[in-house]
Amino acid sequence: MKFVDEAKIYVRAGHGGRGCVSFRREKFVPKGGPDGGNGGKGGDVIFRTAESHHTLLDLKYQQHQFAKNGGHGSGNNRTGRSAEDLEVLVPVGTIIKNFETGEVMADLSEVGQTFIAAHGGIGGKGNAHFTSSTHQTPRFAQDGMEGEEFTLKLELKLLADVGILGFPNAGKSTFISRVSAARPKIADYPFTTLTPHLGVVKHLDSKSFVLADIPGLISGAHDGSGMGIQFLKHVERTSLLFHIIDISMEPNTNAWSNFTAINEELGYYNPELLEKPQIVALNKIDLPFVKDRAKKEVALFKKKGIILHLFSAVTGEGIPEILNKMIEVLNQTGYK
C-alpha cells in the first residue's frame, strides 16, 4: 500500500429539503386547510478515525466528498426524509485544517474519534407552519438551508512513542526489524526507507511501546533536500527521539558532526523538537574499525554532557541496554 500522509479534499454537506405548499383536498370536507410539510435535514460530513486505515491514500483519489440532500416536504403534513450523514474514515493521527486559512479544525488522535466537518442544512418549513388566526391560507413555504462546504487539508502525523532519527543507511530499519515485528525494506544503498514504519516493542515485563522509523534526513532537508522534510512532522508527536549514528561510511566522519547536523535540521523545521529527550547511539560496533574509534567518540560526547550508547543492529549487541533506557525515559514522560 502506498503511504500518503497529505490530502486536499472538498467537502459539502447536504442541503435541506424544500418545504411544501399544499392544501387539503378531501371529499366531504368543505374547508380544507394548509397541510404542506417541512423539508428534511441535509446530511453532515463526518470524519471518523479507524484502525483499519493507515494512510490517506483513498482521499488522495476521492477528493470530493458530498453528503446527500434532505427530502422535500409533501402534502398531508408529511416531512421530507432527512439524509444520511456521510462518514469519511481516516487514520488515527489525522489533522484536519481549513485549506484557505490554515486553521486546525480537528486533531483526531484516538480510535473512533469523530468530527463534523460540514453541517447539513435545515429543511425549509411548509406552508402549514405559517398558519395563524390572521393568515389562514399561506401560499408560500421556505427553501431548505444550504449545507456547509469547505476545502480541507488533511495531514497524517503518526502516533508513536519513540521516533528513530539518523542519516540514510544509519541502521534504523535494521534496528526496528530486530526489536519489533515490523519488516521494512533493508538494502545497502541510500533512501531504502521511502515511507515511515511503525513497530510495537515489548521488552521483558515492561509495557509495550511504539517505534516510528522515520526515513533518512540529509543536510538541507528543511529546505526540501532529500526526503526527510516530508516525514519530519511524524516525529512531532513522539515522546522520545532515538538518534542512530553511523561513522562507518566515510573515514573522516565523526559522530559529533553527524549528531549536530541532524539536530540542526530538527531545529530549522521546528525548534520545539530539540526540547524532546534524545537517546544517542553509535551503530555498527560489530565492525572492527568502528569499535576502535568508539572510545574516542564516547569520550567526546561525555565531555559535551551526553551519553553515547554503543550497539550493533546486526548482532544485537547493546540493544537490550538501549531498550531499558527507552523504557526508563518513557516512564518519566508518562507515556500511555
What are the pLDDT tens digits along the chain (336 aa)? Answer: 456 788 999 999 999 999 999 998 777 766 778 999 999 999 999 999 998 888 888 898 899 999 999 999 999 999 999 999 999 999 988 999 999 999 999 999 899 999 999 999 999 999 999 999 888 889 999 999 999 999 999 998 877 889 998 888 888 888 988 888 755 454 454 444 456 777 888 888 888 888 888 775 655 544 444 445 566 777 888 899 999 999 987 666 789 998 998 898 888 888 999 999 999 999 999 999 999 999 999 999 999 999 999 999 999 999 999 999 999 999 988 765
Bridge partners, residue 212, by sequence: 163, 198
d(CA 301, CA 44): 56
Amino acid at 34: P
The segment(s) of the chain belonging to CATH 2.70.210.12 are 1-156
Going from the C-alpha of 216 to that of each of 63, 232, 270, the distances in angstroms are 30, 10, 17
Going from the C-alpha of 137 to that of each of 22, 127, 141, 229, the distances in angstroms are 10, 8, 12, 67
CA nearest 42: which of 129, 138, 151, 116? 116
Beta strand segments in 37-85, E = 45-49, 64-66
Give me 295's grid cell.
Answer: 572510545
The segment(s) of the chain belonging to CATH 3.40.50.300 are 162-333
Q: Looking at residue 187, what is its pLDDT?
A: 44
* DSSP 8-state code for residue 41: P
CA nearest 74: which of 121, 29, 128, 146? 128
d(CA 199, CA 242): 14
Q: Looking at residue 221, what is its pLDDT?
A: 45
CA nearest 118: which of 145, 91, 94? 145
Neighbours of 183 (CB within 10 A): 11
CATH architecture of 162-333: 3-Layer(aba) Sandwich (3.40)
CA nearest 182: which of 155, 226, 227, 214? 214
* DSSP 8-state code for residue 246: -
168: left (phi > 0), else alpha (psi -120 to 50), else beta?
Answer: beta
3-state secondary structure of 107: strand
Q: Looking at residue 119, what is its pLDDT?
A: 98
CATH number, domain 1-156: 2.70.210.12
Residues 6+ apart with CB under 8 A from 251: none
